[in-house]
Structure 1
Amino acid sequence: MTYAYRLMNSPVGELKLVANGSRLAAILWENDKPNRVRLPEVVAADNRPILLETERQLNEYFAGTRDRFDLELDFRGTDFQKKVWAALLTIPFGETRSYSDIATQIGNINAVRAVGAANGRNPISIVAPCHRVIGASGDLTGFAGGLTNKMFLLSLEAGQTSLEAAADSAAPSATAPETIGRAAPAKSPRPAPSRGTQTSLFGN
């Protein structure tokens, strides 16, 4: 089936939602680099059910009423990239992981730089939460959507219940289809999170 897209306005700019058939294939940023995520030619299709559902769930997320997504996902990439992107889906709402944590989780502790590269090419932003991956020292590091948006998303997940409050805490801007999995179903918002690593996610 033809790849189709729908544009939606959001607190982090205009997002381009892309579907492959009935699955979500990408969420691209307003100023995304053209070659960051490689997709076949896409056509506009505002009525594709998966795109409408994605927009609905994203709006709930931005409103502070959703902390998990329930969407069928379709990732295209190398086997290594898919392992990294699958690991992103396990990072709980409101928590962060380092690149080293992700490398350990996928069983390749020496692949920290490669994990960073794969994280940067994550096609399904926000839903596969690459914004929850930070430097070992706690630095936000690079982000395809820009560091202001990264801080916005982390602030929103850190117990903020309004877009205005999250925006106030955002830092100034710094310079063959294969499905990995399904995002977890929605549940009520959690209390303010810890930023620590849960060892249970890494082999226990």
Structure 2
Amino acid sequence: MAAPIDALGVAVDDGGICRIRFGGVPPNQAVSAPDEVMARAADELARYFAGEDVPFTVPLSVTGGSEFERAVWRQLYAIPYAEMRTYGQIAAAVGEPDAARAVGTACNRNPIPVIIPCHRVVGADGKLVGFGGGLWRKKLLLELEAKVRIEREFGLG
């Protein structure tokens, strides 16, 4: 699907969305998808990119990753729209306070970016560091969410 951050390849398996890839269709992924899940994902992602604070409800199918990575991805999924956390905060939340670097690795391996919002994780000093899709995409996603939040909070939208 088209998006302001480049094309997104969205893959679906029997459990739901299993992969999102920046730049197009994920390789080696199923091409026949349950129409209702793909349509719902396309609708929710389109609304998100149009500037809506979308509560993603499309089912996700996260089957890979280590136990630690899955714990990190659950924490990422829980970060509210237009808010940020540091790698250290996520590490502490999963019970591994000294594992900020490992959190960064888990973010890089996130199979469903945007919906599992790894772009909302920043360095300890608030700087934009590390993003598998490129820092320019992370910046655009955070700017989109910040704009929507400001408009909502100040009644400008």
TM-score normalized with structure 1 length: 0.68
Q: 1:50 offset after TM fit, Å?
A: 1.2
Secondary structure at the residue paired with 1:26? strand
Residue 52 of structure 1 and its aligned partner are, at CA, apart by 1.6
**Secondary structure class of the residue paired with 2:6:** coil
Structure exhibiting the larger radius of gyration computed from Cα positions: 1
Separation in 2, partners of 1:53, 1:115: 29
Identity of aligned residues (%): 37
Say if 1:23 and 1:50, in contact at 8 Å, map to a contact too.
yes
Gaps of 5+ in 1: 1-7, 162-188, 193-204
Report the alpha carbon displacement of residue 43 of structure 1 after superposing the two structures with TM: 3.4
Q: Is the 8 A contact 1:29 1:144 kept in 2?
A: no
Structure showing the higher helix proportion among its residues: 2
* Per-residue deviation, 1:145: 1.4
Q: Does 1:59 align with 2:46?
A: yes
Q: Matched residues in 2 for 1:102 and 1:190: separation? A: 27
* Deviation (angstroms), 1:137: 0.9
SS at 2:30 equivalent: strand
Q: 2:57 aligns with which of 46, 53, 70?
A: 70
**1:86 aligned partner:** 74
Distance 1:63 1:29 in 2: 18
Mapped partners of 2:24, 2:43: distance in 1: 22
Choose which of 19, 24, 27 in structure 2 pairs with 1:26: 19
Task: Note the C-alpha offset of 1:47.
Answer: 6.0
3-state SS of paired residue (1:86): helix
- 1:15 aligned residue (1, 8, 11): 8
Q: Give the Cα–Cα distance (whole angstroms) in 2 for the partners of residues 139 and 52 of structure 1.
A: 35
Shift of 1:45: 3.0
Q: Structure with the greater relative contact order (CA < 8 A, sep ≥ 6): 1 or 2?
A: 1
Query: 1:119 aligned to 88, 107, 120, which one?
Result: 107
SS in 1 for 2:56: coil
Paired position in structure 1 for 2:96: 108
Q: Any idea what SS the aligned residue of 2:12 has?
A: strand
Report the count of equivalent residues. 152
Give the CA deviation at 1:121: 0.5
With the length of structure 2 as denominator, give the TM-score of the two structures: 0.88
Q: Secondary structure at the match of 1:69?
A: coil
Residue 22 of structure 1 contacts residue 49 of structure 1 at CA under 8 Å; is this kept in 2? no
| Runs ≥4 residues deviating over 4 A | none
Q: Does the CA contact (< 8 Å) of 1:57 and 1:66 recur in 2?
A: no
Q: Which residue of 1 aligns with 2:116?
A: 128
SS of 2:136's partner is helix
CA distance in 1, matches of 2:18, 2:34: 16
Q: 2:146: which partner in 1?
A: 158
Per-residue CA deviation, residues 99-126 of structure 1 (Å, 9 max, x unaligned), is 0000010111011111110011100010
What's the CA shift for 1:62? 0.8
